[in-house]
Structure 1
């Protein structure tokens, strides 16, 4: 297919818009427009969110069931999403799926997360 056919009048604007609308999500045009975010599907974002929540659940379990003598465990880092900066800050390529995973991040005021006593009180 020659895109110059549109200028020559052999390709209608409707046909051209249909062709553009049905380009593959992982194609060169999508990668040029959306950078690495085009490589992640909704399923990939949901799977990363599940992995983040599982890591937080394991951290909570280990924190509640550890000995009081040991030092606190580090809060798990969420998986890096496409369009996110090196520290997990979302960039312009972010399409909103990052917001779904933000529930797995550490609480805003406390980078280390809740203490063991707070978790025990919450789940008791």
Structure 2
């Protein structure tokens, strides 16, 4: 509070700062404030634009991987799936599991399904 607004937090206790004014000041603290960092962790360093750019990079890497996989020689070694751009706080989470590819139904299963 003192760093960004020049307001001492003890002014609220002294009655020199209203609760409403204190609430407004806290809600509008900049992202680089100690309070925002304590509440939201490393994610305050990233803006919406940063997250969108990371998503674009991930999607482009996946598209390049798909293109290279489809156009590679059948005897060539498979290409590893690209790693996503690390995001703040993501190192503590489990990576999302990709669903296993579905197997094609057999002729008997298709006949039973379509009756």
- TM normalised by structure 1 equals 0.69
**Which gives a bigger RCO, structure 1 or 2 (Cα 8 Å, sep 6+)?**
1
The unaligned stretches of length 5 or more in structure 2 are 1-6, 102-115
Number of the residue aligned with 1:109: 100
Superposed structure 1 runs of 4+ greater than 4 Å apart? none
Kindly tell me the number of residue pairs found equivalent between the two proteins.
95
Number of the residue aligned with 2:94: 89
From 17, 39, 42, the counterpart of 2:23: 17
Q: Does 1:70 align with 2:76?
A: yes
Per-residue deviation, residues 45-80 of structure 1 (Å, max 9, x unmatched): 111111000000000011111111101100111111
The unaligned stretches of length 5 or more in structure 1 are 91-101, 111-124
Number of the residue aligned with 1:4: 10
1-structure distance, mates of 2:81, 2:62? 7
Number of the residue aligned with 1:39: 45
2-structure distance, mates of 1:48, 1:37? 13
Q: Shift in Å at residue 109 of structure 1?
A: 2.1
- Over the aligned positions, Cα root-mean-square deviation in angstroms equals 1.9
The structure with more radius of gyration:
2
